[in-house]
A and B are shown apart, each in its own frame.
Chain A
Amino acid sequence: MRKFWVIFLVALILATLAFGKIKLRVASWAGALEASLDEKIIAEFMKLHPNVEVEYEPIPSDYYQKILTDIAAGTPPDVFLLDAEMVPRYSEEKLLLNLAPYLARLAKEGVSGANLKDYFDVLVNIFKLGRAVYAIPKDTSPVGVFYNKKLFDKYGVPYPSEKGWTWSEFEQVVAKLSHDTNGDGKNDVWGFSFPGWVGVAVPLLWAGGGEVFSPDFTHTKGYLNSDANVKTYSFYVNLLRKGYAPDPEEASSLGGTSSLFYTGKIGMVITGRWFWIGIKKQIKEGAPLDIGVAPIPHAPGFHNVTVTYASGWAVPSNVKNKKLAVELAAWLSSEYAQRERCLKGGLAISANKKVAEEQAATDKVDSVFIKMLDFSRVPIGSKTKYYRPLFERTWGDAVDRILIKGWTVKKALDWAAQQIDTAIENGNWE
Chain B
Amino acid sequence: MLREKEALTKIPLKLLAVFLLTVLAISTLLPYIMMVSASFMAQFEIYNFPPRLFPSHPKLDNYVEMWKSQPWGRYIFNTVFVAVTVVIGQLFVISMGGYALSRLHFPGRDTVFKMFIAFMMLPGVVTLIPGFIILHSLRWIDTYMALIVPSLGNIWGLFLMRQYMLSLPKSLEDAARIDGASEFTIFWKIILPLCKPVLATVATFTFLGMWRSFLWPLIVTRSKDMRMIEVGIAMFATQYTVDYPVQLAAATLSSIPLIIVYFLAQKWLLQGIKISSGYER
Contacts and interface: CB of A to CB of B under 8 A. Distances in A.
B234 A286 contact: no
A34 interface: yes
Interface in A58-93: 58-62, 65-66, 69-70, 72-75
A31 interface: yes
B240 A282 contact: no
B136 A285 contact: no
Contact of A282 (B43, B69, B238): B43
Given A75-B141, A281-B243, A69 B42 contact: no
B239 A287 contact: no
Contact of B129 (A34, A57, A72, A277): A72
Given A66-B218, A285-B44, A287-B42, A274 B235 contact: no
A217 B214 CA distance: 38
A265 B234 CA distance: 30
A39 to B, nearest CB: 9
Interface stretch (B47-55, B172-180, B193-201): B47-55
A69 B132 contact: yes
B218 A73 contact: no
A250 B215 CA distance: 34
Interface in B239-253: 239-241, 243, 246
A231 to B, nearest CB: 30
A7 interface: no
Given A55-B223, A258-B47, A285-B43, A60 B234 contact: yes
A24 to B, nearest CB: 12
B237 A31 contact: yes
Nearest to B222: A57
Contacts of B241: 31, 274, 277-278
Contacts of A260: 49
Nearest to A34: B238
Contact of B44 (A61, A70, A262): A262
B177 to A, nearest CB: 49
B140 interface: no
Nearest to A261: B47
B42 A286 contact: yes
Contacts of A30: 238
A59 B215 CA distance: 11
B168 interface: no
B60 to A, nearest CB: 13
B222 A25 contact: yes
Nearest to B65: A32
Contacts of B51: 255
Contacts of B214: 61-62
A29 B238 CA distance: 7
B47 A31 contact: no
Contacts of B132: 69-70, 73
A388 to B, nearest CB: 14
Given A34-B238, A263-B49, A287-B42, A75 B243 contact: no
Closest A-B pairs by Cβ, 8 of them: A287-B44, A274-B240, A259-B47, A31-B238, A285-B42, A60-B234, A32-B69, A282-B44
Interface of B: 42-44, 47-49, 51, 69-70, 128-129, 132-133, 136, 141, 214-215, 218-219, 222-224, 231, 234-241, 243, 246
Given A33-B69, A65-B215, 16 more contacts: A32-B235, A32-B243, A32-B246, A36-B69, A60-B238, A61-B234, A61-B237, A69-B132, A69-B219, A255-B51, A260-B49, A262-B47, A263-B47, A265-B49, A277-B240, A282-B42
